[in-house]
Amino acid sequence: MTPIEAATVPGPAPVAPQQDTPPPVQTLPIRFTGSGSEYFRIWIVNLLLTLVTFSLYWPFARARRIAYFQNNTLVGDDPLGFHGDPWKMFRGYIVVMVLAIAYGALSETVPAVAAVLLLLFALVWPALWRASLQFRLRNTSWRGVRMAFVGDLKGAYGALLPFFVPALVLVLFLPDVASDEKPSPEASRRVLWVLGAVAVYTLAVLPWCFARLKRYQHGSYLFAGERTELRAGNGRFYGLLARVIGLLLLVVALVIGVVALIAYSGGPGARMLGFFAAIGVLYLLMPLIVVPYATVALQNLVWANTRTRHTRFRSELRFGTLFRLTLVNWLLIVCTLGLYWPFAQVRTARARLECMALQVKGDVDSWMARAQVRQGGVLGDAAGDFFGIDVGL
């Protein structure tokens, strides 16, 4: 073979470099299988026993309620589990009840001591809130693997203490005027300045405070060795507050317009009737329109931005869905004198859960099997809660 012929003989085709293919993404829908009739039986027994025991049965009733809703919440085809000890919840309830009774008694006899007790309770509140999150997550499982809350105590105080600033300002700077005395002009001006400062602080800082709170809460969940994080900046929370305030102003403007029309077309009696009608309509429209809108916006914002290295949530709750559901629930609760309440809770839970899904990268079965080996199964040690209690926060 000549050199020219050898050069023209085709050789093996070059092998293309292998590229790592991303793992497939599995979408696990979230479903709720509870029914109103089943939960009604649990609810009515809980209510009767709570009344008979003068509220001492309430922690046990709460444990039954949580277990029912979690056991009927399916992620994929597997339900959540709840393993909380009602006696630990009872201890936490007793702590809060004793503090509340002590404050109520001392506020009538020794107001100064009651104020100190209230301050101490406010200081320990973030620790109790963190303890409740630890208890709830540590006693929740999926596919035999327990969840956990790993937020530290410093983060709990950093997330909650900014909410106490308005109350602290009111206590420290509002003038002390007896109920039977007429406030002086200086005291009245001081009250207006303090209330104005609190209002400005609330509007300017509340979204930032709420963003810190949700980042601490949704950034401290641990499951199968992966810690969640909330990828939502402060601007998203400021935008949410702006939309809620805009809707609130629109509702108020609509009601004022109707009242003005009634006042213009009628006499003094019609104006008085329009005034009271406006108060009633506002009282109904706020929780019927503004609250569902804020609930939808907050759920979609928080859960759609909560994720780990291999998982993320999807939340597509719609305002129209929750608005219609709230309207029907209210009408039926009023018509049944409150007996429709457990059915309304089941319908609301189904609507809010079934608009969500969990997306997982890779094989779910192998991921969960590794987590079970590390953890030792669902019966792993659940000790280590702060005081080992739940205070229902």
Of 33-47, 223-237, 244-258, 274-288, the least confident? 274-288
Residue pointed to by tokens 């979408």: 27
Phi, psi of 73 (to 5 degrees): -100, 115
The pLDDT, as a whole number, for residue 385 is 42
CA–CA dist 221, 303 (Å, integer)? 12
pLDDT tens track for 230-269: 999 999 999 999 999 999 999 888 888 777 776 676 666 6
Of the chain, the percentage scoring pLDDT greater than 90 comes to: 52
Task: List the Cα angle 179/180/181 in 5-degree steps.
Answer: 95
Amino acid at 206: L
Compute CA 202 distance to the chain's CA centroid, rounded to the nearest angstrom.
20
Confidence of residue 4 (pLDDT cuts 50, 70, 90): very low
Confidence of residue 323 (pLDDT cuts 50, 70, 90): very high
CA–CA dist 355, 29 (Å, integer)? 9
Confidence of residue 377 (pLDDT cuts 50, 70, 90): very low
The pLDDT, as a whole number, for residue 381 is 37
pLDDT tens track for 64-123: 999 999 999 999 999 999 998 898 888 888 888 888 888 888 887 887 788 788 888 888
Identify which has the larger pLDDT, 287 or 60: 60
Q: Closest Cα to residue 129, out of 101, 144, 151, 147?
A: 151
Residue pointed to by tokens 């009344």: 51
Identify which has the larger pLDDT, 374 or 362: 362
